[in-house]
Structure 1
Amino acid sequence: MLELHDIHTYYGNIHALKGVSLRVEKGEIVCLIGANGAGKTTTLMSISGVTPPRRGRVSFQGQDLTRCSTERIVARGITQVPEGRMIFPRLTVRENLLMGAYLRKDKAGVAAGEKRAYELFPVLRERRSQLGGTLSGGEQQMLAIGRALMAQPALLLLDEPSLGLAPMIVENIFEIIKQINAEGTTVMLVEQNAQMALQISHRGYVLETGVVTLEGPSRQLLADPKVRSAYLGLD
């Protein structure tokens, strides 16, 4: 479904991604783990066109997206839940959800998407007239995921969905990610909670200072001594 080939992305003169190559197959959950500053968020931003790569190729369902605008990339079927949620604090929950469907013209489909968001996250239905900025961190994360799903993506990019959340909420969020995937949405997950990410994903990549250093089935990475020591806090 998605393939990155030899991606080089820069911030000014800073070489953030140094030849990243990876793939995501239809129906998978693929995780990208690594330390702060490794380039995980930059990888997602390169896919979604926010920070386009200077070199390399991003292809999605056989089409080259490397030079496409973010709007066109969303229209092709990729949406991103950004790190820190980035909901619209002065819009209501319902208005935030509808912003996720701004490219869709099918009113019935938008209504069905809103209904699905409320089924996945019942608390959003209860708070649909409440301003987004008044929600708790966990509720804002649910809203950010629900908003992304309103675009009916084939591929959902999730950037640090557990960031700053209580352990119980984190477990709930990860169960919902598994449910979203089981219902047919492919997921690429960037997550510092490597244990949780590897437990729910099919395959994983380890990124270090802009370079993929390890890849493989998630169970294999969970057992890898280097991963266990560096990212899982285990001997």
Structure 2
Amino acid sequence: MLNIEGLNVYYGAIHALKDIHLHVSEGEIVTLIGANGAGKSTLLRTLSGLIKPRTGIIHFQGMAVQGQSPRNITMKGLIHCPEGRRIFANMSVEENLELGGFLQRDQKELRSDIENVYSTFPILAERKKQMAGTLSGGEQQMLAIGRSLMARPKLLLLDEPSMGLAPLLVKEIFKVIQTINAAGTTVMLVEQNAHQALKIADRAYVLETGKVVIEGEASELADSDEIKLAYLGGHI
């Protein structure tokens, strides 16, 4: 579904991503793990068109998308749920969802998509008229994911969905990611919580200072002494 070859991204003189090669197959959950500043979020922002790469190829479903506008990339079904939620705080829950479905011209289909989000996140149905900025952190994260689902993603890029959440909510969010994937959406997941990410992922890539340094089956990486020491607090 996604194939990246020789991707190089710069912030001015800073070489942020260095010759990245990776792929995501349809139906997978692939996670990117690494320390802060490793380039994980930069990679997602490049895939969604927010950052233009200097060199390299990004093929999505067989089409080159590098350098295209975020709108065009979104229309192809590559959807980015950004770090920090980025909800519209002064709009209601339902208005946020309606904005997420801006590509949908059929009002019945739009309504159906909103109801599907409510079935995935029942708490959002209870809060649908509430201003999004008054939601709890966990509810805001659910809204951010729900808004992304409104665009009917073929590949969903999730950036730090568990950040700042209580442990019980973290487990709930990871269960939802598995549910979304089981329903047919391929997922690329950026996570600081490597322990949980490796539990639900099929494969994983480890980034260090803008480079892929390790890749493999998630279960194998979870059992690796090197990974345990560097990212899992010495255990899993």
What TM-score do you get using the length of structure 1 for normalisation? 0.99
Alignment correspondent of 1:221: 221
Which residue is 1:205 aligned to? 205
CA RMSD, aligned part only?
0.7
User: Within 2, Cα distance between the matches of 1:108 and 1:65?
Assistant: 30
Q: Are 1:129 and 2:129 counterparts?
A: yes
Gaps of 5+ in 1: none
Query: Which whole-Å CA distance do the structure 2 matches of 1:53 and 1:28 have between them?
Result: 25
Q: Map 1:180-199; keep pairs closer than 5 Å.
A: 180-199=180-199
* Alignment length (residue pairs): 235
Instruction: Output the CA distance in 2 between the equivalents of 1:183 and 1:43.
Output: 25
Matches within 5 A, 1:14-93: 14-93=14-93
Matches of 1:108 and 1:60 in 2, distance apart?
29
Aligned partners of 1:37, 1:51: CA distance in 2, in Å? 16
Q: 1:23-63 CA distances to partner (integer Å, 9 max, x unpaired)?
A: 00000000000000000000000100001211001110000
> Identity rate of aligned residues, in percent?
53
1:9 and 2:42 aligned: no
How far the C-alpha of 1:104 sits from its partner, in A, is 1.7
Query: What is the CA distance between 1:108 and its match in structure 2?
Result: 2.1
- Segment of structure 1 superposing worse, 152-161 or 107-116: 107-116
Aligned partners of 2:95, 2:228: CA distance in 1, in Å? Answer: 42
User: Matched residues in 2 for 1:66 and 1:94: separation?
Assistant: 32
User: Structure 2 length as normaliser, TM-score?
Assistant: 0.98
Please, which runs of 5 or more residues in structure 2 have no aligned partner?
none
CA offsets, 1:160-216, max 9 Å, x none?
A: 000000000000000000000000000000000001000000000000000000000
Residue type of the alignment partner of 2:33: I
**CA shift at 1:18, angstroms?**
0.5
- Mapped to 2, the partners of 1:20 and 1:56 lie a distance apart of 8
1:109 aligns with 2:143: no
Q: Which amino acid aligns with 2:188?
A: M
